[in-house]
């Protein structure tokens, strides 16, 4: 019987730190407003000419490969999640593949927004358990800072997001004691427009990208913050419970919950619903903001580096985001 296990983790965050105070140059906001509503103190922005979505992913992947003691040539497949690719197409996974010299292997380019990493991990898990592949690189990478509207009009969205990348090497094992136990994916497209970027879109009268679209704000992130918040707290809890039930486990069995870093109030609410003590939930949104598909692997990396993920631990990854999408993965480390 084949199982999938995570053998290496890596991440990259750009060195350009943007504090809440820095944002007051562009919009009317305050450190107090941002911290009170989201918990965020600072985030990272990429440096033009130095970082790209693919280069950040490559840096994260190099670290993950090294820690897994796996060479680039041993990787059979890349599953790459991003909603902020370097080109409209092809996806940044292909650019990262080129940079890492992994020519010839398949690249699955997925979006799935803030749930992207868990969706990507689920795909890797299936391919390994069917025996198709032995070593898969799972990546989440985002440059949000060039998409957000930093004027007053976009401030409720702009203050939340940041840039970064995370990666995991997922490999086949026959050891049932250390493996991905299950993954659970959900979506509800009825809420697609509650968190979305409309343009550039293909179903337009003439061209898919025009100056008018830019002027009308079609390229900006539109978010119904209230709806996102209300759905997130319910779905996060539900999908974690679903994973536990599928494995005949309960919340007290969780060693570490790694939630997508959407908002510290959402994570706190979910933690309370599950009656988990604070030390069992990873929060690093204070330093990175919401990095969409990169948030879970960055948080998992930091937890692992801090010795908070040990062999035998039950680690739960959980995400919610645009789509709406929500997902979880339960891992016996």
* Cβ-based nearer residue to ligand COA, 36 or 305: 36
Among 38, 84, 141, 145, binds ligand COA (CB under 6 A): 38
Is residue 61 at the binding interface for ligand COA, with CB under 6 A as the rule? no
Among 148, 262, 274, 315, binds ligand COA (CB under 6 A): 262
Tokens at residue 118, please?
Answer: 């868990």
Q: Which of residues 297-326 bind ligand COA (CB under 6 A)?
A: 321
Is residue 29 at the binding interface for ligand COA, with CB under 6 A as the rule? yes
In order of 190, 240, 280, 324, the CA distances from 274 in angstroms are 27, 9, 11, 22
Which candidate in 53, 263, 290, 301 is catalytic?
290
* Cβ-based nearer residue to ligand COA, 171 or 263: 263
Contacts with 296 (C-beta within 8 Å, 6 or more apart), sequence order: 117, 118, 140, 166, 258, 259, 260, 261, 317, 319
Is residue 159 at the binding interface for ligand COA, with CB under 6 A as the rule? yes
- What is the three-state SS of 195-226? EECCCCCCCCCCCCCCHHHHHCCCCCCEECHH
Stretch that binds ligand COA, among 32-40, 60-68, 81-89, 94-102 (CB under 6 A): 32-40
Size of the site for ligand COA (CB under 6 A): 19
Active site residue 114: yes
Active site residue 260: yes
Active site residue 16: no
Among 228, 303, 309, 315, binds ligand COA (CB under 6 A): 228
Among 122, 290, 291, 325, binds ligand COA (CB under 6 A): 290
Is residue 33 at the binding interface for ligand COA, with CB under 6 A as the rule? yes
Which has the closest alpha carbon to 301: 169, 166, 119? 166
No. of helices (H) and no. of strands (E), the chain? 11, 13
Contacts with 4 (C-beta within 8 Å, 6 or more apart), sequence order: 124, 125, 128, 129, 136, 170, 171, 172, 173, 179, 180
CA distance 144 to 161: 6
Contacts with 91 (C-beta within 8 Å, 6 or more apart), sequence order: 80, 82, 85, 107, 109
Is residue 172 at the binding interface for ligand COA, with CB under 6 A as the rule? no
Is residue 139 at the binding interface for ligand COA, with CB under 6 A as the rule? no
What is the set of active-site residues?
114, 260, 290
Using CB under 6 A as the criterion, which residues of the chain lie in contact with ligand COA when the complex forms?
A: 29, 33-34, 37-38, 114, 155-156, 159-160, 225-226, 228-229, 262-263, 266, 290, 321
């Amino acid at each position: 019987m084949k199982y999938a296990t995570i053998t290496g983790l890596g991440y990259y965050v750009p060195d350009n730190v943007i504090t809440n105070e820095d944002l007051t140059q562009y919009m009317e906001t305050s450190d107090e407003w941002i911290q009170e509503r989201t918990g965020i103190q600072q985030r990272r922005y990429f440096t033009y000419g130095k970082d790209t979505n693919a280069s950040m992913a490559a840096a994260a992947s190099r670290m993950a490969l090294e820690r897994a003691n796996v060479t680039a040539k041993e990787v059979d497949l890349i599953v790459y999640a991003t909603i902020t690719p370097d080109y409209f197409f092809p996806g940044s996974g292909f650019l990262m593949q080129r940079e890492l010299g992994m020519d010839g292997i398949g690249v699955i380019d997925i979006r799935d927004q803030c749930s992207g990493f868990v969706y990507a991990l689920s795909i890797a898990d299936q391919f390994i358990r069917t025996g198709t592949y032995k070593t898969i690189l799972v990546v989440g990478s985002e440059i949000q800072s060039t998409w957000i509207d930093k004027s007053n009009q976009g401030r409720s969205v702009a203050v939340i997001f940041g840039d970064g990348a995370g990666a995991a090497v997922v490999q086949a094992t026959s050891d049932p004691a250390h493996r991905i136990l299950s993954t659970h994916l959900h979506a509800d497209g009825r809420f697609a427009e509650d968190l979305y970027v409309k343009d550039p879109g293909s179903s337009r009268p003439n061209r898919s990208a025009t100056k008018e679209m830019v002027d009308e704000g079609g390229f900006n992130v539109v978010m119904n913050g209230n709806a996102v918040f209300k759905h997130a707290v319910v779905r996060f809890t539900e999908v974690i419970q679903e994973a536990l039930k599928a494995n005949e486990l309960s919340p007290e069995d969780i060693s570490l919950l790694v939630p997508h870093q959407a908002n510290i109030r959402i994570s706190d609410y979910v933690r309370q619903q599950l009656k988990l003590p604070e030390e069992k939930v990873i929060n690093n949104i204070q330093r990175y903001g919401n990095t969409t598909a990169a948030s879970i692997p960055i948080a998992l990396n930091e937890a692992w580096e801090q010795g908070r993920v040990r062999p035998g631990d039950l680690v739960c990854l959980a995400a919610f985001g645009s789509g709406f999408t929500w997902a979880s993965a339960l891992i016996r480390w």
